[in-house]
Structure 1
Amino acid sequence: MSPPFPDEEEPAGLVAKDSAGDNAAALSVSEISALLKRTVEDRFGFVRVRGELSGVKRAASGHVYLALKDENARLDGVLWRGTAQRLNFQPEDGLEVVATGKLTTYPGRSNYQMVIERMEVAGEGALLALLARTKARLEAEGLFAAARKRPLPYLPDVIGVVTSPTGAVIRDILHRLADRFPSRVLVWPVLVQGQGAAAQVAAAIRGFSALPHIGAIPRPDLVIVARGGGSIEDLWAFNEEAVVRAIAESQIPVISAVGHETDTTLADFAADRRAPTPTAAAEMAVPVREDLAQQIAELALRKRRAVMRPLQLGRERLAARAERIPRLETLFTPQTQKLDDLGERLRRSLGERTMLARGDLQRVGGRLSLPLLSARLDRARDRLDSAGRFLQSLDPDRVLQRGYVRVTAPDGRTLVDRDSAAKEAALNLHFRDGGLAVSTGVVAAPTSSAPQRTKASPRPAPPEQGKLL
């Protein structure tokens, strides 16, 4: 029975009462909320909503809370943890998406929300916009800076490859490595597109870096991250932030070889080198063995030349110096000539001296006649006799033969006057036949120093003897 019209309603009382025949019993808040929840979920059990993400927030539980909005309305939404982990991109504010799920109510706040079971970017334009925003944010952090780029090893012993184990990419890399320089390759198999691809690629890159330097599995010296070409959606895993950060944090140099030459991903900007194709990545990884062998041969040849060059230069310098050294006969020719000249001069000088000496001898011999020599000897003998007689006349003891006495002091001085003799205590008298010591009775005064001998008068020099010649 329908309720009475307003003008027929009974005035409200103080206490609520059920009217007779009224079958609209009062419902509790929970009951009406449950009825509303069932109605909304039944009516909107599957919906697709396009809108711009706003207020994206990831809870500690792993659930993602957000809102879809347009210019006139707003719809709250939630992605449970399992659904959020399966997303192929990182939801962020401003991204236009198409969300698939169901509407439900949340009685706790008397509002409704969308439980999102699938979410995709709303078109390629929106995807490119997301890519631009992600690139700008990571570039601002310095993940693409040139200073972070590391040089690739010239000849890596082990090369790690992160790619799909099936398909043409790994075959192209292995074939190119075999052609250029056969190397040991470790393949870390991953998904290269679709759900979970980004997480597997990031885990593989970090896994290679985590290998010990010495272990059962060798640690690569170089890592190649590769996949074939495709659309931007196919390559999106290599635009994911997780992959970009894994490449930037890698302890091993990384070559990014994603897509074809015209394809560009954020992984290319974070890698140490970008290769236009996986085959080009293999060419960057190793040199050509034949070229290397040729370079080694050329270096060996240059080494031998460098070793022999000083010897060759030494030989050339020695030969040049040897040519400048004069010959033996040339060295001795001046001396031989000088010797001959001196010999000739000596011969002439000896002859001349002999002739001069012979002339002198003849002249002297002419003067050395016997009468002349006898006369000279007589004159020399007379001068010698005269000098002897003069010497005898000067002898002080010669007068003693005529009865004279020579008086000397004890110190040997000859005394010639009485006063000198009176001063001496003793005197020595020299006679013709000997000496006699006498005393004068005078006490001799002590002397401070030894008596001095009188200096004998120099004897006159004998007359000069004439020369014989």
Structure 2
Amino acid sequence: MSDLIDAPDGPGSNAPEFTVSEISGAVKKTLEGAFGRIRVRGEVGRVFRARSGHLYYDIKDERNVLACTTWKGQLANLTVMPEEGMEVIVSGRLTAFGAQSKYNLNVEQVEPAGAGALMAMLEKRKKQLAAEGLFDEARKRPLPFLPEIIGVVTSPSGAVIRDILHRLRDRFPRKVLIWPVAVQGRDCAPQVAAAIDGFNQLSPGGPLPRPDVIIVARGGGSIEDLWGFNEEIVARAAAASQIPLISAVGHETDTTLIDFVSDRRAPTPTAAAEMAVPVRLELLAHFDSQSARLSGALSRNMTRRGERLRDLARALPRPDSLLATPRQRYDNAASRLPLALKTGVQSRRLGLAHITAPLRPKLLSQRLQTLSERLDASAKRLVPALARGTSRARQDFDARVGRLTPTPLLRENTRRREKLSELSRRLQTASQISVAGRRDHLASLERILQSLNYEETMKRGYAVIRGDGHVVTTKSAAEQASSLEIQFADGRLKLGQTKSAKPRKDKPEQGSLF
């Protein structure tokens, strides 16, 4: 093809003609055949992830730029995700894209270009996470004093898990849940993040109980071996954990991102086990010491309080002297009580007499007689009045009926007449009931009058004294009267003229009863 391309052009030239697709295909075959699988070192430039999931980015140096592509299915095989500004070594196949007359590198593997590149990327991630506040001490939770269940995220086949279990057994045996993960390589970061999230998803008290503390552990190694614990996905999973987390990755001098976001950092996995639980024997000794101190304190306190109580008891007076004064007050009150009762009864009796003085039987009798006469007069007038009213209504009704012809109105009038008769009967019944009710009320008033009559009081052993025809209520009035008369329940007794009879002015009847 090179000979044909180099053939001179001109009239009558026999140079072949190519289509655009043929030229693009030839260029693609040439590139792929000449280069095949290659490794390129450079700095990552623009990085773009398409909606389809494919990753597009550039690898550049001081003068040129190489377009790179990693398809969606290849992203899972990358141990390091390209980030802008990172110096990397990419491996892949060079190919051409004829639709745009471009060539690019299909990258299958990305490696940092030395430890310096890894540290630069680590510092960049650390600054980003620190700016988000994931390293703040205020958000870190305290470890439980004595956890019931400890979750361990590590490799089940390494020496780390044996060291942790041995240390826990020596200090304070606890239940341990192990979540096996890869502790290095490309599967390390997603498996560790999934393990932390999985422990947090467990329900407390469920079939598989939720741990009270999590230990993420791994032995020592190079920065490349520990790089999975520097991934952003692991750091964010540790920061989002609701369970307190202890990081124990590498040796004491090794530091990863998970150490900054965890609640506590342990220099070694063995130290993480020591942080998780206290020493059982030390707790028992401390408990015994505190129990002894408590018993001694209680004993001393009871002794001091007993002495204080005895001192106070000696200062108190004797019980007899405390009760002497109240007992005398009680006896004095008991002796005065009968007289006070009699005085109270007498005082209330006099008050009752003053209250009932205006209630004269004669006035009540006159009032009852007036009401009775008025009721009888009303009853006598009521029946004739009802009869006259009924008669007038019937006459008026008959007159109207006489003017009507035998039509349906006649039947209506007949119905009204019957209704009028019924109303008349009901009215008469109501008047009789009203009269009976008033008579009952009058009878009750008569009974009240009878109970208030002084003659009823005399039947209980009282008497009325009259002097010169007037009721006498005092000794001086009796001495001034010319003659006295005593009225008992069964009759009256006249006495002779008193010695000290003096003329006096007539006084109105008081009406008091004794």
The TM tier, using the shorter chain, reads 0.5 to 0.7
Q: CA deviation at 1:180?
A: 0.4
Equivalences for 1:240-389 in 2 at 5 Å? Answer: 240-318=231-309
Q: CA deviation at 1:306?
A: 3.8
Q: Distance in 2 between matches of 1:251 and 1:90?
A: 28
More helix by percentage: 2
1:102 is the counterpart of 2:101: no
Query: Gaps (5+ residues) in structure 1?
Result: 11-18, 327-409, 412-445, 451-469
Deviations for 1:378-405, whole angstroms, at most 9, x for unmatched residues?
xxxxxxxxxxxxxxxxxxxxxxxxxxxx
Q: Residue 214 of structure 1 aligns to which amino acid in structure 2?
A: G
1:223 is the counterpart of 2:219: no
Measured at CA, do residues 97 and 292 of structure 1 come closer, stay the same or move farther in structure 2, by a change above 3 Å? Answer: same
Q: Distance in 2 between matches of 1:240 and 1:300?
A: 50
Q: Distance in 1 between matches of 2:506 and 2:259?
A: 125
After TM superposition, the score normalised by the length of structure 2 is: 0.59
Q: Residue 78 of structure 1 aligns to which amino acid in structure 2?
A: T
Equivalences for 1:36-435 in 2 at 5 Å? Answer: 36-318=27-309
* Alignment check: 8 A CA contact 1:88 1:194 kept: yes
Q: Distance in 2 between matches of 1:179 and 1:242?
A: 34
Q: CA deviation at 1:109?
A: 1.0
Residues paired across the two proteins, number: 323
Q: Residue 202 of structure 2 aligns to which amino acid in structure 1?
A: L
Q: CA deviation at 1:304?
A: 2.4
Q: Distance in 2 between matches of 1:182 and 1:269?
A: 28
Q: Distance in 2 between matches of 1:65 and 1:31?
A: 26
Secondary structure of 1:159's counterpart equals strand
* Alignment check: 8 A CA contact 1:255 1:274 kept: yes
Q: Distance in 2 between matches of 1:58 and 1:245?
A: 21
Deviations for 1:102-141, whole angstroms, at most 9, x for unmatched residues?
1100112110000011110000001100000011111111
Query: Which residue does the alignment assign to 2:19?
Result: 28
Secondary structure of 2:207's counterpart equals coil
Query: Which residue does the alignment assign to 1:423?
Result: none
Q: Distance in 2 between matches of 1:177 and 1:214?
A: 22
Deviations for 1:228-282, whole angstroms, at most 9, x for unmatched residues?
0111111100000010011011111100000111110000001000001100000
Deviations for 1:130-168, whole angstroms, at most 9, x for unmatched residues?
000011111111111111100111111000000010111
Q: Residue 78 of structure 2 aligns to which amino acid in structure 1?
A: L
* Alignment check: 8 A CA contact 1:198 1:240 kept: yes
* Alignment check: 8 A CA contact 1:77 1:113 kept: yes
Q: Distance in 2 between matches of 1:290 and 1:4?
A: 96
Q: Distance in 1 between matches of 2:55 and 2:118?
A: 20
Q: CA deviation at 1:297?
A: 1.8
After TM superposition, the score normalised by the length of structure 1 is: 0.65
Q: CA RMSD in A?
A: 2.5
Deviations for 1:415-461, whole angstroms, at most 9, x for unmatched residues?
xxxxxxxxxxxxxxxxxxxxxxxxxxxxxxx97469xxxxxxxxxxx
Greater Rg by CA? 1
Q: Distance in 2 between matches of 1:126 and 1:270?
A: 22
Q: Structure 1 vs Structure 2: percent identity of aligned residues?
A: 55
Measured at CA, do residues 216 and 31 of structure 1 come closer, stay the same or move farther in structure 2, by a change above 3 Å? Answer: same
Deviations for 1:48-88, whole angstroms, at most 9, x for unmatched residues?
10001111122233321100001100000011223322222
* Alignment check: 8 A CA contact 1:97 1:119 kept: yes
Q: Residue 170 of structure 2 aligns to which amino acid in structure 1?
A: D
Deviations for 1:158-214, whole angstroms, at most 9, x for unmatched residues?
000000101111111001000100010011000000121101111111110111113
Measured at CA, do residues 192 and 447 of structure 1 come closer, stay the same or move farther in structure 2, by a change above 3 Å? Answer: closer
Q: Residue 159 of structure 1 aligns to which amino acid in structure 2?
A: I
Query: Gaps (5+ residues) in structure 2?
Result: 318-480, 483-502, 508-514
Secondary structure of 2:129's counterpart equals helix
Q: Distance in 1 between matches of 2:126 and 2:504?
A: 132
* Alignment check: 8 A CA contact 1:90 1:240 kept: no
